[in-house]
Amino acid sequence: MDTFPFFPLLVVVLVLGAVAYKLLVLKVVVPESFTALLYRQGRFVRVLKPGPHRVLRQGHGTQQVDMRQRYLTVPGQEVLSQEQVGLKVSLAVRFAVAEPEPALHRVQNYTEALYLAVQLALREEMGRHPLEELVAGRVDLGQRMRERVAAEVRAFGLSVESVEVKDVMLPADLRRSFSESLKAKKEAQAMLEKARGESAALRNLANAARLVEQHPSLLDLRMLQTLGGASTTPGNTFVLNVGAELAPRARKRPAPGGAPVPPSEEDEPEST
């Protein structure tokens, strides 16, 4: 049977099918690090992962959600410490969308909701601690806020990775007071270290005095040591005034290779 007469009809059918496919089927390509929500007649159907997808064009629509990590900067917020002292605190929040469906459907704007949660958590945490602890950094404010904010925003699909305190700004009078206090502490610490050094030096001198009192010959050794160290520099002349207690011992030393030198009359003990 000759099929040639049916070939043009087959081509027409294929062309019409391709046109109908183009008109009826929508190709959706979701980029990497994104997720798309598929809607049919305005109602949520399912989540589309990264990659190509084909859905019916009629009555269907998509909305992409960025799943990458983002940073939210919270500029200087006027908050009160436990003593009702006004401070300005700025924060940086690192977060990401963990579940796109509640992030878009449970709140109108999840970034604004996160911003408000951070503000409220900051005011509550700052009011729990005194000013000195906050300024000295003894309170891990970022970690406390991360735990609190993460629990709140998890309900609408956000994941808070970290909350970092960028700056704590004090009023001008408090800044001067803290500077003066810090300066006084540093000066007191320096004076204490100086006193400790002087006490240690005095103890060493007292120990040396006791040793010299018990062993007078240590003075001779010290003098010879000093002379030996100074004689390394040529061209110096030293004039020594040897005391009476050293002279007899110097005269009694034998000459190199010779006989001992007898003591003089002055060195001989007086007979009784």
The C-alpha atoms of residue 193 and residue 188 are separated, in whole angstroms, by 9
- Statement to judge: residues 171 and 74 lie in one domain: yes
Question: Could you give the maximum distance between any two Cα atoms of the chain, in Å?
Answer: 166
Report the side by side order of strands in the sheet with 70-80.
70-80, 86-97, 158-169
Domain span holding position 21: 13-66
Asked if 37 and 75 sit in the same domain, the reply is no
Q: Kindly report the three-state secondary structure assignment for every residue of 56-83.
A: ECCCEEEEEEECCCEEEEEEEEEEECCC
Per-residue tens of pLDDT for the chain, all 272 residues:
455 566 677 776 777 676 666 667 778 889 999 999 999 888 999 999 999 988 887 788 889 999 999 999 988 877 877 777 778 888 999 999 999 999 999 999 999 999 999 999 988 888 887 777 776 665 678 888 899 999 999 999 999 999 988 887 776 666 666 666 656 777 777 788 888 888 888 888 788 788 777 777 776 677 767 766 666 666 666 666 655 554 554 444 454 554 555 555 544 444 43
Separation CA 89–CA 76 (nearest Å): 5
Say whether both 27 and 76 belong to one domain: no
Calpha distance 215→204 (Å, rounded) = 16
The answer to whether position 171 is within a domain reads: yes
Domain total in the chain: 2
Burial of 82 (0-12, 13-18, 19+ CB in 10 A): middle
d(CA 186, CA 188): 5
In a domain, 224, yes or no: no
Structure tokens, 53: 């997808």
Same domain, residue pair 169 and 78: yes
| Domain stops at, among 175, 194, 220 | 175
Whether 48 and 101 map to the same domain: the answer is no
Examine residue 30 and state whether it is found in any structural domain, yes or no.
Answer: yes
pLDDT of residue 270: 47
Q: Cα angle vertex 228, ends 225, 230, to 5°?
A: 110
State whether 81 and 115 are in the same domain: yes
Q: What share of the chain is helix, strand, coil (3-state, %, to 5)?
A: 45, 25, 30
- 109 φψ region: left (φ > 0), alpha (ψ -120 to 50), beta (else): beta
Same domain, 101 and 154: yes
Q: Are residues 42 and 91 in the same domain?
A: no
H/E stretch holding 95 reads strand 86-97
